[in-house]
């Protein structure tokens, strides 16, 4: 298992705040190709799906799910969390890169950020 951080941690009120922590198992990355494609190019990854859940105290929280491309299983599932004041948009380039590498990615807008109340 490998843990990576996108940026060095920052201090806020004496507490270290990592920007994003990715926990994933290292395995070979392979992009699936569409067998129906005649040019042999990898098929484009699916568009992200917006998921909305309601917390036990009634607050709606939104998340974006970037499904791994192809018909096979994802090589890893990554949960990416934005930093204070951020939203899923700040992690979209990372999510798209991980998706293209064969990962499924979930990026929530934490409570009070982005599209979450």
Helix segments in 10-102, DSSP class H: 92-100
Distance of CA 71 to the CA centre of its chain: 19
Residue 90, helix vs strand vs coil? helix
User: First-to-last CA distance in the chain?
Assistant: 34
Is the model's pLDDT at 95 over the cut of 70? yes
Distance of CA 54 to the CA centre of its chain: 20
The string of pLDDT tens digits covering residues 30-47 is 444 444 455 667 677 889
pTM: 0.64
The string of pLDDT tens digits covering residues 67-87 is 998 877 899 999 999 988 889
Give the separation between CA 98 and CA 91, rounded to whole angstroms.
Answer: 11
């Amino acid at each position: 298992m490998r843990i990576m951080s996108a940026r060095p941690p920052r201090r806020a009120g004496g507490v270290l705040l990592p920007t994003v922590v990715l926990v994933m198992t290292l395995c070979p990355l392979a992009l699936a190709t569409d067998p129906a494609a005649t040019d042999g190019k990898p098929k484009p990854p699916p568009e992200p799906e917006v998921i909305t859940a309601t917390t036990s105290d009634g607050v709606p929280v939104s998340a974006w799910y970037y499904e791994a491309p192809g018909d096979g299983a994802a090589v890893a599932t990554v949960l990416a969390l934005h930093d204070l004041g951020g939203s899923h948009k700040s992690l979209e380039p990372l999510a798209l890169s991980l998706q293209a590498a064969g990962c499924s990615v979930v990026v929530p807008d934490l409570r009070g950020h982005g599209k979450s109340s």
